[in-house]
């Protein structure tokens, strides 16, 4: 198994935020959540992370209900604990103390051993002029590629 089999990404993250530190964390899942994730029925677009009591939690991550899972199905938008080292948690807590900083998930993937991992980033929100600058750079690159093809 590789990361290419599961492609669940937060496409707006790099446009909306300046990314600083990136961490890879495991997720504590229960019941039928893993089967839904392996089927690709999850979303991290609206998710964000918080720190409470020296633990990091991911909120608002949607994992669809497993079709074949009777009464033992999970709640689609429950909080899920992220598994990080103590040093990483302390570093994240220091970062989040500053106003305007947040912790967002970038992508959900399967590790080589088959574990579900999430890539999270310490981020600061962009202003509108920063977003316009990114769009301008993207358009310039596109035009340069078109000119090179001709």
Q: How far is CA 111 from CA 39, 130, 143, in A?
A: 15, 34, 37
Q: How far is CA 147 from CA 86, 134, 137, 139, 142, in A?
A: 50, 20, 15, 12, 9
Which has the closest alpha carbon to 73: 109, 107, 30, 118?
A: 30
Which has the closest alpha carbon to 57: 118, 10, 125?
A: 118
List per-residue pLDDT tens for the chain, 150 residues long: 444 578 889 988 888 899 999 999 999 988 788 888 888 889 999 999 999 999 999 999 998 888 777 777 777 888 999 999 999 999 999 999 988 899 999 999 999 898 999 999 999 988 888 888 888 988 999 999 999 988
Alpha carbon distance 96, 56 (integer Å): 11
Q: Are 123 and 13 in contact (CB under 8 A)?
A: yes
What are the tokens at 9? 């990404």
CATH topology of domain 3-149: Small Protein B; Chain: A; (2.40.280)
CA 14 distance to own-chain centroid: 11
Alpha carbon distance 99, 101 (integer Å): 6
**What's residue 27's pLDDT?**
94
Q: What is the pTM of this model?
A: 0.80
CA 22 distance to own-chain centroid: 10
**What's residue 31's pLDDT?**
79
**What's residue 67's pLDDT?**
78
SS3 of residue 134 by DSSP: helix
């Amino acid at each position: 198994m590789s990361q290419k089999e599961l492609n669940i990404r937060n496409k707006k993250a790099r446009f909306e935020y300046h990314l600083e530190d990136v961490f890879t964390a495991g997720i504590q899942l229960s019941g039928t959540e893993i089967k839904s994730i392996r089927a690709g029925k999850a979303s991290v677009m609206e998710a964000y992370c918080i720190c409470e009591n020296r633990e990091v939690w991911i909120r608002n991550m949607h994992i669809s209900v497993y079709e074949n899972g009777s009464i033992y199905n999970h709640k689609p938008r429950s909080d899920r604990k992220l598994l990080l080292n103590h040093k990483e948690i302390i570093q994240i807590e220091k970062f989040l103390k500053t106003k305007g900083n947040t912790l967002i998930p970038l992508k959900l993937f399967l590790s080589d051993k088959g574990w579900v991992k999430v890539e999270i980033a310490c981020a600061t929100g962009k202003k509108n002029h920063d977003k316009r600058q990114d769009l301008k750079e993207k358009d310039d690159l596109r035009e340069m590629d078109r000119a090179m093809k001709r």
